[in-house]
Amino acid sequence: MSRRTRKPGPLKESAYSTNQRFRTQVSNTNPWITINCFTSGALPTDVSTLSGSDINNGSTGTWYFYDPNSTIDFTANSNVWLTQDSNGVQFEGVNLAKVDDSGNKLEWANANSCQAGRIATALRHPVTGEELTFGDLAGGSVEFLIERTEDCPHNENHEVGIFACIAPSTIMSSTNNNCYGLGSCYFGTASSNPEGTNTYLFNAQAKAQSTSADGRKHYAMHTFANNSASLVLAGYSTGRLFDSNDHQHHNTSSAAQQKSTRRQDPANFVYLVVGPFARDNSGNGSAVRRTGKFRLWFRVNLDSKQFAPDYVLQGDNHFSGASSGIR
């Protein structure tokens, strides 16, 4: 049964939210949400099984996979190509070829050159579960947090790791795409600087990175705004890198989206996407057997007032924005 029963447009108000302003109640204090990559314990489903191979015809809450360059061997690794435990998410497969050794099979060179296999599910409102559109994101933001939980597992994993992003439905049918996310990869090897990692920030136009010899956690925020009545863009994206004590390194990254050809239709549904990742650099091996384990989180901040909040006179400074949902 198709899940497309909701007409694109602003989400409805909720009777149980303060001041009946539904979207404004996901404030900056809302908690991180763990990205669980299984549907009721089951591995993701091949997107080609859907009508027209279109993820828009999928089921709410279900993960689907798309592998345009055969980076994952689903036959030989039918039960273990994707695993998740308390240490995080990991992709495995005998064909996880390196970026520089086998035709850029894992490379996400920039946000519109998405080569690796990936899984995706509809991005849903964290309170009601309604599917979000890019129009819903205008005036808000999406954040990602990735934690490396093990050192580089093999010398061949140089410049290889995991990414998490949001994107329109075409992320599951094309390698030329617009997405907004975060990649985390090892910049050392198992025998040399195994704790070293790169934070790789990308939006629909630009990419940026920061590096640390002991980086453990990687963070990115993408803020969205209406560029016109019919187009949405990520006006600005920023990334940070933290050590094992959650102390921020001086290394940060930022990227602005200004190009007019890579904006989003507000009616387009938004998808949460995860996959193996490699940055464009030389490596040491001919193939990667597994990505290593990474914990993944996301957080969504929404505001129906966008950039036109109520101006409230004679209010308490701590709560003067309450009527517009600002906390």
**pLDDT of res. 209:** 58
113, 134, 223, 266 from 162: Cα distances, Å: 16, 24, 22, 28
The residue among 160, 169, 164, 131 whose CA lies nearest residue 146 is 164
**pLDDT of res. 69:** 78
Report helix, strand or coil for 274. Answer: strand
**pLDDT of res. 168:** 92
**pLDDT of res. 84:** 94
Contact (CB, 8 A) for 176 and 112: yes
Q: How high does pLDDT run on average in the chain?
A: 76
**pLDDT of res. 76:** 66
**pLDDT of res. 229:** 83
Low-confidence ranges of the chain (pLDDT < 50): 1, 13-28, 98-102, 111, 281-284, 325-327
Q: What is the dihedral of CA 194, 43, 95, 116, to 10 degrees?
A: -80
Distance, CA of 247 to CA of 294 (rounded, Å): 19
CB-side exposure of 261: number of CA atoms within 13 Å? 5
* Cα dihedral across residues 244, 208, 134, 221: positive or negative: positive
CB-side exposure of 24: number of CA atoms within 13 Å? 21
Contact (CB, 8 A) for 290 and 96: yes
Q: pLDDT tens digits for 230-245?
A: 888 877 777 777 777 7
**pLDDT of res. 201:** 61
Phi, psi dihedrals of residue 313, rounded to the nearest 5°? -85, 155
Distance, CA of 39 to CA of 43 (rounded, Å): 7
**pLDDT of res. 319:** 56
Q: What is the dihedral of CA 148, 150, 156, 161, to 10 degrees?
A: -20
**pLDDT of res. 62:** 96
